[in-house]
Amino acid sequence: MRSEKNNLKGILYVLIGMAVFSIQDASIKWIFNETALYELYFGRTIIAFVLLLIFMKYKNIKLNLKTNYPFLTTLRVLLFFLGFSFFYTSLTFMPLSMANALFFSSPFFISIFSKIFLKEKIGIRRLSAIAVGFIGVYIVLNPDFNDFKIINLAPVACGFCYAGSMIILKITNDKDNVYTQLSHLYIGAIIVSLAFFVFMGDGRFNTSSNPSMQFIFREWFSNPKSAWPVIFLMGCCGAIAFTLLFKAYTIGSPPTISLFEYSLIIYGSITGYILFNEIPSTRTIVGSLVIISSGLYIFYREKFKNQKIEHKY
């Protein structure tokens, strides 16, 4: 019963976290042509870290930077950095819909990693529900794969990195609490982004006409008045969303709650309509129903059949 209750709570955290992430994605649609990739990375991270410290001070939570898993902590920072780079660079050469569709390969990676590293029992029914959910994502987004290039797999690489990060979180949460792990993530991100600023923040390597290369190598702080208010919003969203996701994957079963990350597609349709006057198509409605149906099936299994999840840390 405890496992069931934790999974249901984890699902709720994921649903809220994805809603916040949809706001961040909408913000990036406004700003990525006016700033540098790692300026975004730095700004979003520093703001999120400051907000986390304020929250911890308010709650009288002591900041503890000591980790019992130095290698896994470093690996998670690297995966987070690579995932950020892969996904947001992909937005310069492919539609957001295609990038999201490819990113949502992450639940498959999470299930595979959970089986290998966490020794979780993953039945055919849950795997089938995840597969059906992915079909729903495909229906919603209807990506065009006719002109496929290997670089289009960048969001899949992001999904791989994201899944690995969440599994590491699950392994390390027995000794490192969520605030310690978030602090490690933010501090690592700040160090990495500052290193990029030192070596290329002046735009010295921004000599290519390729939009992806311009986004990576553009001079930092070239449009602060237009960029940084949006970066501040992104930082707030990142702090809230990642805290919710970290908490969700700490208390719940990754293969179960990862299915509900598909809700980002629904939230994206809503923000697209409100902010960009994008009216959902018939495919979006049908695909959303498929996603919701898959999620309700998992919910039913958790609530009424007392599915037993075994964890091995």
pLDDT digits (tens, 9 = 90+) for 187-213: 999 999 999 999 999 999 988 888 888
What pLDDT, on the 0 to 100 scale, is given for residue 312?
Answer: 37
What's the rounded Cα separation, in Å, for the pair 267 and 262? Answer: 9
The answer to the question of residue 93 being in a domain is yes
Q: Is the pLDDT of residue 144 over 70?
A: no
Q: Where are the alpha helices (DSSP H) in 59-123?
A: 70-90, 96-103, 106-113
Q: Is the pLDDT of residue 5 over 50?
A: yes
The answer to the question of residue 309 being in a domain is no
The answer to the question of residue 313 being in a domain is no
Closest Cα partner for 247 from 1, 13, 5?
13
CA atoms within 13 A on the CB side of 131: 7
Which amino acid, residue 206? N
What pLDDT, on the 0 to 100 scale, is given for residue 151?
Answer: 79
CA angle 38, 156, 102 (to 5 degrees): 105
DSSP line for 148-191: --GGGGHHHHHHHHHHHHHHHHHHHTTTS-HHHHHHHHHHHHHH
Predicted confidence band of residue 165 (pLDDT cuts 50, 70, 90): very high
Rounded percentage of the chain residues whose pLDDT exceeds 90:
24
Predicted confidence band of residue 290 (pLDDT cuts 50, 70, 90): confident
What's the rounded Cα separation, in Å, for the pair 130 and 33? Answer: 35
The answer to the question of residue 311 being in a domain is no
What pLDDT, on the 0 to 100 scale, is given for residue 309?
Answer: 42
Q: Is the pLDDT of residue 307 over 60?
A: no
Q: Is the pLDDT of residue 230 over 70?
A: yes
Q: Is the pLDDT of residue 68 over 80?
A: yes
Closest Cα partner for 157 from 214, 77, 80?
80
The token duo for 283 is: 């495919």
The answer to the question of residue 267 being in a domain is yes
Better pLDDT: 276 or 171 = 171
The answer to the question of residue 216 being in a domain is yes
Range name among 30-39, 211-220, 292-301 with the lowest pLDDT average: 292-301
The answer to the question of residue 145 being in a domain is yes
What pLDDT, on the 0 to 100 scale, is given for residue 280?
Answer: 66
How many CB atoms are located within 10 Å of the residue 113 CB? 21
The answer to the question of residue 310 being in a domain is no
Please say whether the dihedral angle defined by the alpha carbons of residues 51, 53, 58 and 64, taken in this order, is positive or negative: positive
What's the rounded Cα separation, in Å, for the pair 183 and 104? Answer: 26
Question: What is the value of pTM for the model shown?
Answer: 0.79
Q: Which residues contact 124 (CB under 8 A, 6 or more apart)?
A: none
Total domains in the fold of the chain: 1
Closest Cα partner for 15 from 234, 257, 197, 221?
257
Q: Is the pLDDT of residue 304 over 80?
A: no
Largest interatomic CA distance in the chain: 60
Q: Is the pLDDT of residue 296 over 80?
A: no
Q: Is the pLDDT of residue 310 over 50?
A: no
What's the rounded Cα separation, in Å, for the pair 72 and 188? Answer: 13
Phi, psi of 90 (to 5 degrees): -65, -25
Mean pLDDT calculated for residue range 75-101 = 85
DSSP line for 251-308: HS-HHHHHGGGGHHHHHHHHHHHHHH-----HHHHHHHHHHHHHHHHHHHHHHHS---
Instruction: Please answer whether residues 20 and 240 qualify as being in contact, where contact means their C-beta atoms are separated by less than 8 angstroms.
Output: yes
Per-residue pLDDT reduced to its tens digit, 91-111: 777 776 677 777 877 877 887
Q: Which uninterrupted H or E stretch holds 63?
A: none
Name the average pLDDT for the chain.
82
Residue-range definition of the domain harbouring residue 165 = 2-304
